[in-house]
């Protein structure tokens, strides 16, 4: 049986970070006490804040910023291409940004298009976030809609 190998390159990280292999992490910056579960891929030009947890089988693409004290559930998929031109963007200069504020919770199996999410927001499991979220609250569905303010 072959052992699955990890690839971690150009990672800058603070004290107390814990990474459970196998993972693929490229050109990222982590704050202190970041937890990354197994089978996670985190691509170039990503920033993850202090005390944030990313659970197993998640994908964080280029140009994603995740704030402090966030939780990203299992199997969460970030995207940086809105496919508005009807085809896949291959030029990294054209990739869109995603930004999560602090204390954001993203439920398992959620997909996030290039969006901004305000601090303190909760996204229910299995949701698809297609638009910026500027009002703190609980959101769920596909597309995600505000269930209630918090």
Q: Would you state the pLDDT for residue 25?
A: 98
Report the SS3 class of residue 114: coil
Residue 147 · residue 134 · CB < 8 Å: no
Indicate whether this model's pTM tops 0.85. Answer: yes
* pLDDT tens digits, one per residue of 29-63: 999 999 999 999 999 999 999 999 999 999 999 99
Report the SS3 class of residue 25: strand
Q: Which fold has domain 7-84+91-149?
A: UDP N-Acetylglucosamine Acyltransferase; domain 1 (2.160.10)
How do strand 122-123 and strand 35-36 relate by DSSP bridges? unpaired
Determine how many CB atoms are found less than 10 A away from the CB of residue 91: 6
How do strand 137-141 and strand 144-149 relate by DSSP bridges? antiparallel
Can you state the percent helix, strand and coil of the chain, rounding each to 5?
A: 0, 40, 60
Beta bridge partners of 122: 105, 138
């Amino acid at each position: 049986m072959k052992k699955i190998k990890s690839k971690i390159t150009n990672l800058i990280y603070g004290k107390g970070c814990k990474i459970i292999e196998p993972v693929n992490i490229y050109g990222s910056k982590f704050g202190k006490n970041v937890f990354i579960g197994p089978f996670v891929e985190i691509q170039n030009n990503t920033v993850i804040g202090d005390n944030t947890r990313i659970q197993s089988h998640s994908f964080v693409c280029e140009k994603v910023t995740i704030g402090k004290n966030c939780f990203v559930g299992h199997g969460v998929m970030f995207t940086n291409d809105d496919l508005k031109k009807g085809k896949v963007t291959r030029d990294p200069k054209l990739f869109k940004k995603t930004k999560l504020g602090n204390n954001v919770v993203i439920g398992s199996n959620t997909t996030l298009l290039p969006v901004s999410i305000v601090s303190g927001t909760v996204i229910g499991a299995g949701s698809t976030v297609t638009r910026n979220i500027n009002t703190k609250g609980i959101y769920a569905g596909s597309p995600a809609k505000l269930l209630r303010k918090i």
